[in-house]
Structures are given as structure tokens and as C-alpha cells.
Amino acid sequence: MPADTNWSGDVFGGWIVSQMDLAGAIHAERFSQGRCATISINQMTFLVPVKVGDVISCYTRILKVGNTSIQMQIEVWDSHDSSRIPKRVTAGVFTFVAVDVKGEKRQITEEVRQKYLAYEGS
């Protein structure tokens, strides 16, 4: 939307990061079967600007599962329509920590970690 852009008509990077964070949190929470919080964002690189009216898609892939955390690669692609070749807009590595209702770290169950390892091995 226009309110999410700078004076040049480019969408603010912060808005894009928030969309990535939402996509990653959904994946992390479904995977860990509970609430998660973002604890870090690393290796963030913006490659091309996003304009008002562009359609973006966020793609997530789990890189590593720890006792309480999930590290995830998140990419954003401009997939406006079939008349243009999709372009990668940005990518980053986000880390989420599983938390309980009090906001304290919680363990990711062994069953869930094994599911990830089985998936990675296939």
C-alpha cells in the first residue's frame, strides 16, 4: 500500500521484514506445536526494490532444529504475474525460540525433532 512506501515509491524494507517474520513464525509454531518468538535475524540482503502493486511471496525452509530453537531460511520473491520472470527480492536467516504461555523457553519435543531429521534424510 502507498502508506508502506518511501518517497520513491519503494516498499519499506521493514514492512518486508515484518512479512517474513510472520511467515516464519507461522512455520515455526506449526512445526514446534506451540508459541514461538523471533530472537534473531541474520544475513539479511535486499536485492531489488518492491513497488506498490507488486505481489510478493514468502518461502520458508527449516535449516536447523535445536532443543528450544528453530533456524529458518526465509526468501521473498516478486511473483507479480506470469508475464514476468519471478525475482528474488530478499533473503535472511531467522531464528525462533519456542516459548510457553509465560514467555519462557520450552523444549521442542524429541518427536518433533525426529520428524525434522527424518524429513531432512529423505
Say what the pTM is. 0.87
Cβ-contact 47, 10 below 8 angstroms: no
Local confidence band at 112 (pLDDT 50, 70, 90 cut-offs):
confident
Look at the chain and report how many structural domains it folds into.
1
User: Domain of 83: which CATH number?
Assistant: 3.10.129.10
Local confidence band at 122 (pLDDT 50, 70, 90 cut-offs):
very low
Question: Helix, strand, or coil here: 66?
Answer: coil
Q: Name the residue type at position 38.
A: T
Q: Can you give the residue range of the structural domain that contains 47?
A: 2-121
- Nearest Cα to Cα of residue 118 among 62, 36, 60: 62
Tens-place pLDDT, residues 35-90: 999 999 998 889 998 888 888 999 999 999 999 999 999 999 998 777 778 899 99
**Which pLDDT score is estimated for 120?**
59
The three-state DSSP-derived secondary structure of 95-109 is EEEEECCCCCECCCC
